[in-house]
Amino acid sequence: MPPATYKLQKSTRARRAVHDMRSALRRQLQRAVDDHEFTVYYQPKFHLASGDLQGVEALLRWRTRAGAWIPPSAFTPILERTGMIEEVGSWVFERAAIDSAYWRRNGRSVVRVAVNVSPIQLRQRDFLSSILAISGSCSAQGTGLDIELTESIAMPDSDALIKVLNDLSAANVAVALDDFGTGYSSLSLLVKLPVRQLKIDRSFIRQLGKSRKAVAVVEAIIRLARELGMKTIAEGIETADQRDRLRALGCDIGQGFYFGRAMSREDLLASLQSIRPQA
């Protein structure tokens, strides 16, 4: 067999294998939706200066019937490609409201719950009305709802998108720009969109104490946010040294394994007394 033909057949087999694997995962995802295999875990966020709990980030998790945990990076793109993200994303918001009520009934309030939003969700016709309804429910419980977007979501400069986000902001749903500095980093976004928080990507946090450039980037983001009247959130904090460096640079809020891993609503409730970091 000629080498070119062999390579072509090998490439075809590889593509077919990838396609089969994705099809199987897609079928599993549909079963997961139907059988309620998804759950929501929460990672706490703390004010770096005071150590006070500022809220939590809601994180979608999938545990199969066989007990295997599937990482979000494996299933989120498929949820988006198949459109299932609309159903699952709406469920996450509803779950966040239910869990907020659960914490409050048990004598604890987590203040704010942040939920990641896909660009497909933003284009849903009823997205705004449904989120405003859920947000109103959370506000009545004494907590608040926030959304987190990646920079790439907002790149298509859409008046409709800006209106949706402005309406959410007016209803006290804070908008955070996630993974800031790793995507387009368009400064025009910060002018046009009602962003209240910039999340500094963990790739920069890991380099604190190792790279002067990383420190300079983090410091620049913090200064920019402050000048624009925004808060900064550092994600992926794993050590006290990272926390101290960020606090010295003036970062407002931090989250990561140093403060607490993502956990179920019951575990979060049980841990609220113990997860506060040492000053």
Residue-wise pLDDT tens digits, 252-268: 999 999 999 999 999 99
Residue-wise pLDDT tens digits, 114-130: 999 988 888 888 898 98
SS (H, E, C) the chain: CCHHHHHHHHHHHHHHHHHHHHHHHHHHHHHHHHCCCEEEEEEEEEECCCCCEEEEEEEEEEECCCCCEECHHHHHHHHHHHCCHHHHHHHHHHHHHHHHHHHHHCCCCCCEEEEECCHHHHCCCCHHHHHHHHHHHHHHCCCEEEEEEEHHHHCCCCHHHHHHHHHHHHCCCEEEEEEECCCCCCHHHHHHCCEEEEEECHHHHCCCCCCHHHHHHHHHHHHHHHHCCCEEEECCCCCHHHHHHHHHHCCCEECCCCCCCCECHHHHHHHCCCCCCCC
CA dist., res. 73 & res. 76, Å (int): 6
Contact 143, 110 (CB under 8 A): yes
pLDDT of residue 109: 77
**Which residue in 114, 103, 94 sits closest to 271, CA to CA?**
103
Q: Please tell me the pTM assigned to this model.
A: 0.86
Higher pLDDT, 74 or 25: 74
> In which band, very low, low, confident or very high, does the pLDDT at 152 lie, cut at 50, 70 and 90?
low
208, burial (CB in 10 Å: exposed 0-12, middle 13-18, buried 19+):
buried
**38-271: CATH, from 3.20.20.140, 3.40.50.1100, 3.20.20.450, 3.40.50.970:** 3.20.20.450
Contact 237, 200 (CB under 8 A): no
CA dist., res. 224 & res. 241, Å (int): 23
pLDDT of residue 277: 47
CA dist., res. 97 & res. 52, Å (int): 22
